[in-house]
Structure 1
Amino acid sequence: MKIAETCIRRPVLASMMILALVVFGLVSYRAIGVDLFPDVDIPVVTVTVPFPGADPETVETEVTDRVEEAVNTISGIKMLRSESIEGLSQVFIEFELEVDVDVASQDVRDKVAAIRGELPPDVDPPIVEKFDIDSAPILAIVLSGPVSIRELSEFADNQLKPRIENVDGVGNVRLVGKREREIRVWMRADRLRALGLTAEDVIEALDTENIEMPGGRVETRDREVTVKTKGKVERVEQFGDIIVTRRSGAPIRVRDLAWIEDGMEDLRSLARLDGTQAVSILVRRQSGTNMLRVAQAVKSRIDEVRPMLPGSYRLAIAQDLSVFVEQSIDEAEGELLRGGVLAVLVILFFLRSLRGAFVAAMTIPTTIIATYSFMLGMGFSVNMLTMLALTISVGMIVDDSIVVLENSYRHMEEGLPRLQAAIRGISEIGFAVIATSLAIGAVFVPVAFMDGIVGQFFYEFGLTVAFAVVVSTFIALTLSPMLCSRVLKIHGRHGRVFQAVERGLEFIERVYGWTLRTALRHRFAVVVAALVAFVSSLAITGFLGREFMPNQDESQFNIQVETPIGTSIHATSEVLREIEQRVRQLPGVLDTFTTIGAGVEERVNVATVLTRLVPGPERRQSQAEIMQSTRDVLVDLRHLRISVEVIPRVAGGGFRVAPLQYSIQGPDLDQLAEYSERFMAEMARLPGIVDVNSTYDAGKPEANVVIDREKASDLGVHVKDIGRAVHALIGGLRATVFEQGGETYDVRLRYAEPDRAHSGKVLRVPVRTASGALVDLDNLVHIEPGTGPVQISREDRSRQVLVLANLESFKPLNEAMQDLAAIETRLGLPPGVRTRFVGDAEMMEESFANINFSLLLAVILIYMVLAAQFESLVHPFTIMLSLPLSVVGALGLLALTGRSLNIFSMIGMIMLMGLVTKNAILLIDYTNLLRGRGMSRNEAVLRAGPVRLRPILMTAFSTIAGMLPVAIGLGSGAETRAPMGTAIVGGMLTSTVLTLVVVPVVYTIMDDLGLFAHRWLFGEKPDTALEADASAALTWENGDRESSPDPRVEAANVCICFPGAGPAELEHTAYDVAGQVADGDRHVESTAANEPP
């Protein structure tokens, strides 16, 4: 090949080209981002509409339904989900992947803005935002101390939060467990009634007497003065001095009707670290930033703040996602290094030459470093998938150099000078190297462009591998032959180790030669055995569990706790103390971090206990085992809903963490609730399915204030006035604000506790009639106790109840899905009710379908590449026979190691399609080369097999060695990497062994079929290059004369001309041809001459 020969003759040029790639790669490595997984752009837009004080059913009818109706007309919507909870509506619009989420979010904003006037006047402005996969908090910082929660809140809000927000890369900082300062005006209903006033009168007075207004400008000839009216209250006690009205000339002040408290807002959230109350600071990063750098910068800022803390304050890191990410990336880099070392050792074993190992080893760091420049240019990050791509590439990128190296080395052993051996070696297999690289590229391009979430997930993976293969091919055609021509050296004398290994390899070659001759005699039996092995391997799939993605041991997990509906935050807190105490006693538990009411809905009966474990190497039990132990110690708390869950991969967007999610949809919520209860009762009996729960809660106590509209109308009292009076009585109304020290605090008007607590007084608060008189609320309304749903979930505008469950480690997802399908069959479905799996189950089915399509597309592309390479429509089928042979080992080793079929192991099997064809290409390419030189087909097959045995074994075992650290699966994040490594190692083992036997046999069968078809179509024997009767007359196997065209021919003279060849090359070639023709007990003599006889 011209490029290779040029590099051989101009080594400095070749070195500088490769050095340029290395320099660009090193520069890129410093600038590239780091994350756990690739930045997946999930096209989900969320519309959040706060509706303070509204119950879920009102939120659904007044807000959610109208928002859904408005956005439903936008094109490209895949799914519409919503949740209506007390005081909040959330609508999640999921678009098709090809939709531009920025354009879609603007469309949603326009649609929501268009219906703003149709929404109730009390709703807060709708919030429209894109879903961001990076929105999960990367750090949870806890501030604690023996002071009041108000002091902790103010220090966290005023001192810590601004400092953290200023850190480069920080996107959002949120405080959990804090209580804001609030000025509270506690009204007394009896005083209002006695003085003929209402809550609205007090609100109006507070609002109008606490105001600052501009007065304009006073201009003179020389200067200008701004005038403003200073009417703001400067001290809290001054609110009591505000005059509400006058009676007989005497002022009635606020303090005559109420008492003023400089207090705190109602307690609606709580944070606690190891039982100590605290304020939690949740830190989110900006989208696309380097997680490790942002987390380290925040932690550095915390270290700067610590010396400034008051003596009793304590700052601690309760959660740090960057630790697991850093450990996982470090472990992946370690696997990359160990795989590279093992691959080089394999090469050293086969070549027994440090120089040869050096030539091959140079490919690994050069290719890996150069690939970083591509990753940076494409906007990729260093993450689990790209590091896995580089690790898997180790075996593949060294394969091409191995083939070049071995071919050059063989020619040097046969007597050619080093320079000529390098030129001849690359010229023989150059196009085979390109073909194998194209075959691998044909596999990974479909992987990179798969549909669905899995396609985005593996986009960076597929392109990273493909580019690494391209770079390795370039190096194999430039640097490797140049180094071979300058570095390789054949030693005349070898040591005992070399000779022992050589004898072992020669023995393997003889055994393989005998096996190949036997297989050619019994071709039908070989084909049948291969088919049986393949079919048997398919049966193994029935014993393999299937799941979307394996769970990882992150040394932390969540305990989701829900106390009975209506439980106060204080009662919930006491229950959580008992849970914390039990969990902290488990072996391997480091600490617990509890939050109550941390979600957007601020439900005070819902809590999360983050349980951190000691690092994996320091504990005996796995995370899954400790999670099961947690369930066991909490099993007696049957009055609580408890779910022990892994840390969610994404936050928000309507996604849930439970692996088993079953949607029950229909128009009647009561019917759905009843059916879901029966369904969950059946699920709870199934082994391996735990933490069964649903999104429906019907027990929330309600006090429905029913208005007597006729009486209210007669007295001239508006419904709005009644509603505001009830709101002031129960929830409190924001009257004005108080400003101090640059901060703004709410001033909230609320009836005092005695007027709210006693059932006989609860509605004895006055409202004003149209005539100006006062009337108590209990004359216009009455209370009806009841219960209502805590939340109403909908999907595609249909109500749904979502049944959720976790799985124990021995329960695969596909088996759980089969169990639920059996329950549905047994119970039957009520009329109008439909069901389907969502969450991991839905993504697993969608992903497997996309992967299977990519597998089919990869096979088609491989065939096209091979057909172009061999200029044949038949022989590609011979090479591609190695594809199903790899499935035997892949499935078998997955079953032996107890690993599942998931997106990682499935991608590993797609990778095998490219890897295993390399061996078959080397074998068939050399067979065709020998036939082109004049050998008969069977002679070429028997010669090509032993000659190509060593490079095939080297490439196969170097790939296996490179993947072995991944397949063993040790260290952080190994649970996701190991299934892919296992599939590749198992597939390479079986495909290598079977390819060496089955592919040559099928090659002869396909050749016979081609010969038969040619004779049948054209009635004559096809011409074969240099296939003379004299050469074919030499029998190719002992005792087997049937394949020779004329078994009566006992001897023949064969003359092969090589124009322009020198004496040394002629002698070498004559010896080589004699070795190819001789077999068994025949005697073959060879001579070389400068002129033909």
Structure 2
Amino acid sequence: MKQLIKTSVKRPIGVIMIVLAVLALGVMSLRNLAVDLFPEIDLPVAVVATNYQDAAPEDVQNLISRPLESAVSAVEGIDTVQSQSQSGSSMVMMMFQNGTDLDQALLDVREQVDQVKGMLPDGAGDPNILRFSPDSLPVMYLGLTGDDLAELTEIADQQIVPFFERQEGVASVTIEGGLEREIQIELDEASLEQYGISPQSVMDTLGSENSSSSIGTVEQGNQDLQIRVIGEFDNIEDIENTQIQSEAGGVVRISDIADVQDDFKETSSETMVNGEHALVLSVMKQTDANTVEVASNITDAMPGMMEDLPEGMGLNTIIDTSEFIEMSIDSVMNNILIGGAIAFLILLLFLKSIRATIVIGLSIPIAIIATFVLMYFTGQTLNVLSLGGLALGIGMMLDSSIIILENIYSYRRRGYSLFEAATKGSIELAPAVIASTTTTLVVFLPIVFVEGMSSDLFTPLALAVSFSLVASLVVAITLVPMLSSKLLANVMEGSGKRYWFDRFLNWLKTRYGKGLEKVLRFRKTTVLVTILAIIGSLFLIPRIGMEFMPSADQGQAQITVETPPGSSLDYTIGMTEQVDDILADYEEYMDVSYVTIGSADFTGSMNESTYTLQLIPASERDRSTEQIMVEIDERVQHIAGADIAASAMDGGMEMGDPITIQLNGPENDTLIDLSEQVLAEMEEVEGVTNTTSTAEDGIPQMEIRVDEDAASSYGLSGSQITSQLEMKFSGQVVGQYREEGQEIDITIAYPEDTRTSIEDLLDSSIQSPSGATVPLDELVEIEQAEGPQTLLRENQQAQMNVSSGVVGRDLGSVVSDIETKLSQMDFPEGYSYSIGGQAEDMEEAFMELGVALIFSIFLVYIVLAVQFENLLQPFIIMFALPTTIIGVIGGLFVTNISLSVAGFIGIIMLAGIVVNNSIVLVDYINILRRRGMDQIEAIIEAGRSRLRPIMMTSLTTILAMVPLGLGIGEGAELQQPLAVTIIFGLTISSIFTLFFVPVIYLIFDNITKKVRGRRKRKKAAKK
């Protein structure tokens, strides 16, 4: 270390060249760093999704969900398997243990699914195996508007989607709200009876005629020619002219018994943008692509596409997630610049020399740029949290340089030359500087072992702070001594323009010295007051509350409209129009309103509508998104005929419902009763809003039970009756019609007006194998019943969920009240509950971070013990840690901010930061005592001498974080708890360090002397 410092001072050109090389690498790294809102979150979750058209939830669960559950449960690393079965779809979600290789797990899941795929019922779609990731969410939503929905769909399919998918970084573009082309064969029941042809014969004939196959080879000279029979339909006429053999032996064409049309499938949803019918295009980025670049590429390409659109069509951006990312990044960068400027001014105030300030101020840009280099080579992204780490580290980057320069100053005041002052001053305090930096670094090591979302989010922040501190340490022991030896020749001359500040410091030193004498004299009182202050602050914990993550006001909100089960699409549209009327009163806040009415994917239904609202930027409105949505929610509750909920979306992070009560047990009926009781109890808790239950009102349905004896008398089986009914009321796909690379379903069905009412069902007839027509009521019993909307299972056991949002209170307090109510409920044997959602994530994160904090404190002690080669003095230094509790809790209480994961990370960081001042103080006490100074005198003189550098390091760190602590700018809410925690914690601990740590030092030093004296007397007595 000594040689490194001396070499740096002797060889300034070499140091400068290295710095220039780092700066060049930093600029190149910054240009190539990917930009995103949050770090990549690796959730060990996979999903198997399967369609089973028009099947009831019970059938979906028994025939699809259960076999898939059993299959995937055997995969290694599975923690929880959940299934969701509803009308027409099944979703099986697998949550793996942390640390599981998800790529290998997905291969294992695929193998298990392939083994049972053949056992799934006819008509079930192929299972889709998906890896769930926040990166799979769309980066942009585009709206295509026009008068003709069919034309919009065609242009979107053939022009717009291929065009955007060719743009760099785009993985796929999906269409929502479009029409799907279909060849519809509408059977004429009277004609079928006239010709004696069954619907099954029509299906079999069309399936066999619409196929091509190879039947062998023949020789032609020296060649073998493949013989291939072409039988696929080339046009609609081919379908119409397909011949069917009637029972009488005649030939009948399809056109004689059916009407063939090239049309569109019946739609079950509509999409509207700002009140206009539209198609919505969702742009997905590639896994390794940059969100901002992809969005920029799409935005740049849009004008060229819009020029090619027919007149009357419009293409515009609905939601661009990159806008909030760019605003958030700009906000953090502004906070970094403001914090750096504040730190620079503080230095100038203390040093009253521009040269000296520049010497230290260079630490900031060099450390930041070096951090960009390390971030690039470790694969990090430039996001709100990693940049937040830099913003938080601005002040800390200067600590090492301030301490070194201050000691160089002291040597200059004693008459040493520039070279001697630079080398001796640096060498003397280099070990203390290294120790203080190391203590700040080691607190981040346990975070590496924290699992889940907390680790994914805050490891980049920890790395950014660590990289910047390492870089600033290298600068402090190389560049600062070198520049000091060259630039500080005239710094000691004159009092400068800020002489008033030196007078203030001298006055403060005098007052501090007298105050320190008093606390050293009244040591017991000082310790007692400190303990009482710590205990008193603990009583504030229930009043600050807890939450998982602070919400960022991204300006996105959601409104869900749920009409009674079984409602028609038209009825749901009517309810949605009433919501539109209310939203019209908030046009000044709205940028875009995008609503999907009905089922937009396999999880929806026609009795649901979902609004996605994009508000204008937070800086342009006088109310937060949450305040606006709370008011809208109050107004929509007055709309009769639907359950409507309005809420703000959570800052770009999809973390689920704040509170989810998961009820498990063997019987669905009992779970439904329990869920109703839990729902009622939750609604009584203050702060609970938008409560929902998966045991909502059931879907009305008709249950048909086949009379096996009656059916067998006509030569019919239950499956034959089911197949004919399915044909009549659902239609069946009998093949594909290929045209210009497209595969279009060929669907056979009865006319719509013969399959819509209950009378149509009751008047139905079944055709027996002999050709006889049998009325349906002779074969079955029909009764009206009510079936569930959704069936849930977890780990192959039935489940019901009750979910809610939280408004006006912190998450921790609401959860505590709910737990109190649930503990008073009487659950039947075999039934249990657990709390999930963000509440569960918060509890797990706090437990893991609590363990990380304990290990961080232990590692700090280890580093100090190695540094001082003493087991007692590190213990004395760490007495500054308990006093941070006063600042942390008091700061959160004063600013009305709940303790979150971000705030907990701040507490862990404080464990490494607050001891730095103690290290400098205790280390200098030891130096003075080695010089022969008396105990009390050394403590007071060390305090007076170190007051200036302690104030400089504390003020630069604290004030540089003030911009983040104020939470100004887009996305600043995410770092605000962390900044507030450090600002208040470091402020209070710095004060206690100056008074409480010297008292503890004196107490333990006196105890040590007494112990040593007793040992000496015992040894003397033995002699």
Which TM-score tier does this pair reach, normalised by the shorter chain? Answer: over 0.9
Counterpart of 1:665 in structure 2 is 664
Task: Give, in angstroms, the shift of residue 215 of structure 1.
Answer: 7.0
User: What TM-score comes out, normalization by structure 2 length?
Assistant: 0.96
Comparing 407-416 and 169-178, the one that deviates more: 407-416
Query: Relative to 1, partners in 2 of residues 1:216 and 1:312: Cα closer, same or farther, differing over 3 Å?
Result: farther
Task: Give, in angstroms, the shift of residue 369 of structure 1.
Answer: 0.8
The residue type paired with residue 357 of structure 1 is T
Counterpart of 1:589 in structure 2 is 590
Counterpart of 1:414 in structure 2 is 414
The residue type paired with residue 867 of structure 2 is Q
In structure 1, how many angstroms separate the alpha carbons of the residues matched to 2:601 and 2:330? Answer: 33
In structure 2, how many angstroms separate the alpha carbons of the residues matched to 1:834 and 1:122? Answer: 36
Q: Report SS of the residue matched to 2:637.
A: coil
Task: Give, in angstroms, the shift of residue 276 of structure 1.
Answer: 0.6
Q: Pick the aligned partner of 2:810 from 796, 808, 812.
A: 812
Counterpart of 1:1060 in structure 2 is none
Residues 708 and 717 in structure 2, CA contact (< 8 A), matched pair in contact too: no
Instruction: Count how many residue pairs are aligned between Structure 1 and Structure 2.
Output: 1017
Q: Report SS of the residue matched to 1:955.
A: helix
Would you say 1:84 and 2:82 are equivalent positions? no
In structure 2, how many angstroms separate the alpha carbons of the residues matched to 1:713 and 1:300? Answer: 68
* Mapping for residues 975-1014 of structure 1, pairs under 5 Å: 975-1014=973-1012
Counterpart of 1:268 in structure 2 is 268
**Structure 1: unaligned runs, 5 residues or longer:** 1023-1093
In structure 1, how many angstroms separate the alpha carbons of the residues matched to 2:754 and 2:670? Answer: 39
Q: Pick the aligned partner of 2:1013 from 990, 999, 1015.
A: 1015
Task: Give, in angstroms, the shift of residue 776 of structure 1.
Answer: 4.5
Q: Report SS of the residue matched to 1:828.
A: coil
Counterpart of 1:625 in structure 2 is 627
Would you say 1:388 and 2:388 are equivalent positions? yes
In structure 2, how many angstroms separate the alpha carbons of the residues matched to 1:614 and 1:124? Answer: 42
Counterpart of 1:16 in structure 2 is 17
Task: Give, in angstroms, the shift of residue 220 of structure 1.
Answer: 4.7
The residue type paired with residue 798 of structure 1 is Q
Counterpart of 2:177 in structure 1 is 177
* C-alpha distance after superposition, 1:87-120 (max 9, x if no partner): 2221111111121111222222222223334433
Residues 175 and 279 in structure 2, CA contact (< 8 A), matched pair in contact too: yes
* Mapping for residues 560-599 of structure 1, pairs under 5 Å: 560-586=560-586, 587-596=588-597, 597-599=599-601
Counterpart of 1:312 in structure 2 is 312
The residue type paired with residue 644 of structure 1 is A
In structure 2, how many angstroms separate the alpha carbons of the residues matched to 1:731 and 1:247? Answer: 26
Task: Give, in angstroms, the shift of residue 570 of structure 1.
Answer: 2.3
Counterpart of 1:1033 in structure 2 is none
Q: Report SS of the residue matched to 2:914.
A: helix
In structure 1, how many angstroms separate the alpha carbons of the residues matched to 2:436 and 2:25? Answer: 26
Task: Give, in angstroms, the shift of residue 218 of structure 1.
Answer: 7.0
Q: Report SS of the residue matched to 1:794.
A: strand
* Mapping for residues 486-505 of structure 1, pairs under 5 Å: 486-491=486-491, 494=494, 497-505=497-505
Task: Give, in angstroms, the shift of residue 882 of structure 1.
Answer: 0.8
Residues 552 and 650 in structure 2, CA contact (< 8 A), matched pair in contact too: no
Q: Report SS of the residue matched to 1:47.
A: strand
Task: Give, in angstroms, the shift of residue 253 of structure 1.
Answer: 1.9
Task: Give, in angstroms, the shift of residue 977 of structure 1.
Answer: 0.8
Task: Give, in angstroms, the shift of residue 515 of structure 1.
Answer: 0.8
Counterpart of 2:705 in structure 1 is 706
Q: Report SS of the residue matched to 2:47.
A: strand
Residues 133 and 650 in structure 1, CA contact (< 8 A), matched pair in contact too: no
Task: Give, in angstroms, the shift of residue 79 of structure 1.
Answer: 1.7
Task: Give, in angstroms, the shift of residue 752 of structure 1.
Answer: 0.8
The residue type paired with residue 668 of structure 1 is E
* Mapping for residues 1061-1072 of structure 1, pairs under 5 Å: none
Residues 387 and 464 in structure 2, CA contact (< 8 A), matched pair in contact too: no
Task: Give, in angstroms, the shift of residue 770 of structure 1.
Answer: 4.0
* C-alpha distance after superposition, 1:185-220 (max 9, x if no partner): 111222222221221111122223333445777765
Counterpart of 2:48 in structure 1 is 47
Counterpart of 1:75 in structure 2 is 76
Task: Give, in angstroms, the shift of residue 222 of structure 1.
Answer: 8.8
In structure 2, how many angstroms separate the alpha carbons of the residues matched to 1:375 and 1:152? Answer: 45
* C-alpha distance after superposition, 1:635-690 (max 9, x if no partner): 20253222223336789xxx863212111221121111122112222322333211
In structure 2, how many angstroms separate the alpha carbons of the residues matched to 1:318 and 1:358? Answer: 48
Residues 183 and 263 in structure 2, CA contact (< 8 A), matched pair in contact too: yes
Task: Give, in angstroms, the shift of residue 765 of structure 1.
Answer: 5.1
Counterpart of 2:853 in structure 1 is 855
* Mapping for residues 615-764 of structure 1, pairs under 5 Å: 615-647=617-649, 657-762=656-761, 764=763
**Structure 2: unaligned runs, 5 residues or longer:** none
Residues 88 and 602 in structure 2, CA contact (< 8 A), matched pair in contact too: no
* C-alpha distance after superposition, 1:307-333 (max 9, x if no partner): 111110011111111111111111111
Q: Report SS of the residue matched to 1:382.
A: coil
In structure 2, how many angstroms separate the alpha carbons of the residues matched to 1:777 and 1:734? Answer: 24
* C-alpha distance after superposition, 1:844-892 (max 9, x if no partner): 0111111111110011011111111111111111110111112211211
Q: Report SS of the residue matched to 1:662.
A: strand
Task: Give, in angstroms, the shift of residue 127 of structure 1.
Answer: 2.1
Query: Relative to 1, partners in 2 of residues 1:682 and 1:158: Cα closer, same or farther, differing over 3 Å?
Result: same
Residues 402 and 955 in structure 1, CA contact (< 8 A), matched pair in contact too: yes
Would you say 1:284 and 2:284 are equivalent positions? yes
Q: Report SS of the residue matched to 2:278.
A: strand
Residues 196 and 771 in structure 2, CA contact (< 8 A), matched pair in contact too: no
Q: Report SS of the residue matched to 1:762.
A: helix
* Mapping for residues 348-367 of structure 1, pairs under 5 Å: 348-367=348-367
In structure 1, how many angstroms separate the alpha carbons of the residues matched to 2:574 and 2:729? Answer: 25
Q: Report SS of the residue matched to 1:866.
A: helix
Residues 193 and 766 in structure 1, CA contact (< 8 A), matched pair in contact too: no
Task: Give, in angstroms, the shift of residue 441 of structure 1.
Answer: 1.2
Residues 328 and 384 in structure 1, CA contact (< 8 A), matched pair in contact too: yes
Would you say 1:968 and 2:970 are equivalent positions? no
Query: Relative to 1, partners in 2 of residues 1:639 and 1:755: Cα closer, same or farther, differing over 3 Å?
Result: closer
* C-alpha distance after superposition, 1:594-630 (max 9, x if no partner): 0132233231212210112111111111111101111
In structure 2, how many angstroms separate the alpha carbons of the residues matched to 1:1021 and 1:16? Answer: 61
Task: Give, in angstroms, the shift of residue 228 of structure 1.
Answer: 5.0
Task: Give, in angstroms, the shift of residue 21 of structure 1.
Answer: 2.3
In structure 2, how many angstroms separate the alpha carbons of the residues matched to 1:779 and 1:244? Answer: 30
Task: Give, in angstroms, the shift of residue 751 of structure 1.
Answer: 0.8
In structure 1, how many angstroms separate the alpha carbons of the residues matched to 2:72 and 2:757? Answer: 45
In structure 2, how many angstroms separate the alpha carbons of the residues matched to 1:414 and 1:428? Answer: 15
Comparing 210-219 and 614-623, the one that deviates more: 210-219
Task: Give, in angstroms, the shift of residue 768 of structure 1.
Answer: 4.5
Residues 958 and 982 in structure 2, CA contact (< 8 A), matched pair in contact too: yes
Counterpart of 1:120 in structure 2 is 121
Would you say 1:948 and 2:925 are equivalent positions? no
Counterpart of 1:188 in structure 2 is 188
Task: Give, in angstroms, the shift of residue 224 of structure 1.
Answer: 8.4
Counterpart of 2:796 in structure 1 is 797
Query: Relative to 1, partners in 2 of residues 1:277 and 1:895: Cα closer, same or farther, differing over 3 Å?
Result: same
Q: Report SS of the residue matched to 2:82.
A: strand
In structure 2, how many angstroms separate the alpha carbons of the residues matched to 1:667 and 1:649? Answer: 38
In structure 2, how many angstroms separate the alpha carbons of the residues matched to 1:662 and 1:299? Answer: 42
Residues 446 and 858 in structure 1, CA contact (< 8 A), matched pair in contact too: yes
Q: Report SS of the residue matched to 1:478.
A: helix
Query: Relative to 1, partners in 2 of residues 1:492 and 1:713: Cα closer, same or farther, differing over 3 Å?
Result: closer
In structure 1, how many angstroms separate the alpha carbons of the residues matched to 2:75 and 2:744? Answer: 40
Counterpart of 1:612 in structure 2 is 614
Comparing 42-51 and 390-399, the one that deviates more: 42-51
In structure 2, how many angstroms separate the alpha carbons of the residues matched to 1:731 and 1:1016? Answer: 97
Counterpart of 1:1039 in structure 2 is none
In structure 1, how many angstroms separate the alpha carbons of the residues matched to 2:139 and 2:934? Answer: 67
Determine what percentage of the aligned residue pairs are the same residue.
32
The root-mean-square deviation of aligned C-alpha atoms, in Å, is 2.1
In structure 2, how many angstroms separate the alpha carbons of the residues matched to 1:677 and 1:30? Answer: 56
Task: Give, in angstroms, the shift of residue 1020 of structure 1.
Answer: 7.7
Q: Report SS of the residue matched to 2:42.
A: coil
Q: Report SS of the residue matched to 1:346.
A: helix
The residue type paired with residue 318 of structure 1 is I
Residues 189 and 755 in structure 1, CA contact (< 8 A), matched pair in contact too: no
The residue type paired with residue 114 of structure 1 is Q
Counterpart of 1:1055 in structure 2 is none
Counterpart of 1:141 in structure 2 is 142
Counterpart of 1:483 in structure 2 is 483
Q: Report SS of the residue matched to 2:444.
A: helix
Q: Report SS of the residue matched to 1:34.
A: coil
